[in-house]
């Protein structure tokens, strides 16, 4: 079973870029500042980990056709909205994201807040309209239920609240785990489940994808924390060492660097074990899991 992960990633990424461009209103739409701000952050060099994960889970669950693409792109828009709001001066107050000025640095705070609001709203509209047409209304509602649960008051938003409120408090293991599972983990787990839901998979497959996604999502956040300490640019962070400057609740701060790496590697091994029985259709998911820890090994 030879599988060219690089090639797979590049091909899916190109599809995602093309679809995102198509699903977003044109950059010259009125009002210009809003659309420019939305596009600035959506097309800012993201690796498209989540949409590719969604496509990979769809394929591994027996999905055919392109009905999953609006779902994959909606999740990327939601991820982007969360980054724009997290970077705001009143939140993490970050000037850089992936080496470029953050949205509010370029467009001002008001437009940044509204661009985030618009991306979230547009993502839901995208699932409702495009995915609804292609996948049917029952499937569409299951997707929306999963996604909104992952990003709401017991998901991503809650994770960001606790993350912010834990700054400087020397948070313990339980708090760090709460933050990570919700702030990053919940949407990544939902992404993996949504691929299966869009494919019309049975409950067991959806659950399996969710279990895989939870482990990958947690490992993703842990490796991002590690990258912050070690000086690389993570997917989520703006620069090196910011977490410790801000006394953020992170895995390295609670478990130390070496043990954090061991935990991340263990989670990835577990995630791969969950999908081991998928054989060839599961290879992209195997590869995506490997990529997460490869960033810090």
Count of chain residues binding a second copy (CB under 8 A) = 48
Distance CA 281, CA 284 (A): 7
Distance CA 269, CA 202 (A): 24
Min dist. Cβ of residue 87 to a second copy (A): 11
Considering only 29, 258, 262, 297, the residue that binds a second copy (CB under 8 A) is 29
The answer to whether 90 contacts a second copy (rule: CB under 8 A) is yes
Residue among 141 and 279 whose Cβ is closer to a second copy: 141
Q: Which stretch binds a second copy (CB under 8 A): 42-50, 54-62, 109-117, 230-238?
A: 109-117
Q: Where are the alpha helices (DSSP H) in the chain?
A: 5-23, 32-42, 49-60, 69-87, 103-107, 109-126, 132-135, 137-151, 156-166, 173-180, 186-198, 203-230, 242-245, 251-255, 257-274, 283-294
Residue among 161 and 265 whose Cβ is closer to a second copy: 161
| Cβ pair 286, 275 in contact under 8 A | yes
Considering only 67, 116, 217, 234, the residue that binds a second copy (CB under 8 A) is 116
Distance CA 258, CA 195 (A): 33
The answer to whether 108 contacts a second copy (rule: CB under 8 A) is yes
Residue among 124 and 263 whose Cβ is closer to a second copy: 124
| Cβ pair 210, 181 in contact under 8 A | no
Considering only 14, 153, 269, 276, the residue that binds a second copy (CB under 8 A) is 153
Interacting residues with a second copy between 183 and 242 (CB under 8 A): none
**DSSP category for residue 297:** -
Two structure tokens written together for 140? 């569409």
Distance CA 131, CA 119 (A): 16
**Helices 137-151 + 186-198 axis angle, to 10:** 170
Q: Closest by alpha carbon to 71, among 86, 85, 52, 84?
A: 52
Distance CA 234, CA 13 (A): 18
Min dist. Cβ of residue 108 to a second copy (A): 7
Residue among 130 and 254 whose Cβ is closer to a second copy: 130
Q: Which stretch binds a second copy (CB under 8 A): 86-94, 195-203, 247-255, 271-279?
A: 86-94
The answer to whether 161 contacts a second copy (rule: CB under 8 A) is yes
Q: Which stretch binds a second copy (CB under 8 A): 24-32, 218-226, 264-272, 285-293?
A: 24-32
The answer to whether 128 contacts a second copy (rule: CB under 8 A) is yes
The answer to whether 118 contacts a second copy (rule: CB under 8 A) is yes
The answer to whether 91 contacts a second copy (rule: CB under 8 A) is yes
Q: Is 123 helix (H, G, I), strand (E, B) or coil?
A: helix
What is the number of residues in the chain? 297
The structure tokens 């990979």 sit at 56
In degrees and rounded to multiples of 5, residue 170 shows phi and psi of: 50, 60
In the shown chain, the binding pattern of residues 46 to 85 toward a second copy, with x for contact by CB under 8 A and - for none, equals ---------------------------------------x
Sites of contact with a second copy (CB under 8 A) = 25, 29-31, 33-35, 38, 85, 88, 90-91, 108-111, 113-114, 116-118, 120-122, 124-125, 128-129, 132, 137-138, 140-141, 144-145, 148-149, 151-154, 157-158, 160-162, 164-165
């Amino acid at each position: 079973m030879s599988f060219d992960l690089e090639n797979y990633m590049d091909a899916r990424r190109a599809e995602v870029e093309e679809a995102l461009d198509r699903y977003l209103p044109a950059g010259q739409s009125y009002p210009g500042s809003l659309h420019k701000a939305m596009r600035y952050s959506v097309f800012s060099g993201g690796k498209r980990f989540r949409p590719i994960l969604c496509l990979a889970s769809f394929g591994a669950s027996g999905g055919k056709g392109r009905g999953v693409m609006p779902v994959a792109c909606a999740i990327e828009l939601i991820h982007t909205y969360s980054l724009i709001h997290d970077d705001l001066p009143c939140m993490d107050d970050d000037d850089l994201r992936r080496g470029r000025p953050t949205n509010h640095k370029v467009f001002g705070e008001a437009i940044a807040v509204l661009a985030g609001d618009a991306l979230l709203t547009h993502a839901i509209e995208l699932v409702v309209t495009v995915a609804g047409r292609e996948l049917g209304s029952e499937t569409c509602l299951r997707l929306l239920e999963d996604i909104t649960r992952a990003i709401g008051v017991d998901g991503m938003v809650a994770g960001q609240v606790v993350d912010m409120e834990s700054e400087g408090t020397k948070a313990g293991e339980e708090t760090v785990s709460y933050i990570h599972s919700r702030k990053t983990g919940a949407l990544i787990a939902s992404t993996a489940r949504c691929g299966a839901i869009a494919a019309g998979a049975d409950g067991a497959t959806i659950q399996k994808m969710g279990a895989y996604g939870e482990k990958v999502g947690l490992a993703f956040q842990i490796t991002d924390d590690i990258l912050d300490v070690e000086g690389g640019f993570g997917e989520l962070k703006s620069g090196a060492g910011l977490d410790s400057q801000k006394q953020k609740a992170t895995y390295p701060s609670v478990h130390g660097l070496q043990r954090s790496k061991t935990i991340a590697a263990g989670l990835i091994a577990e995630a791969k074990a969950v999908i081991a029985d998928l054989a060839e259709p599961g290879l992209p998911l195997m590869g995506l899991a490997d990529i997460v820890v490869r960033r810090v090994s």
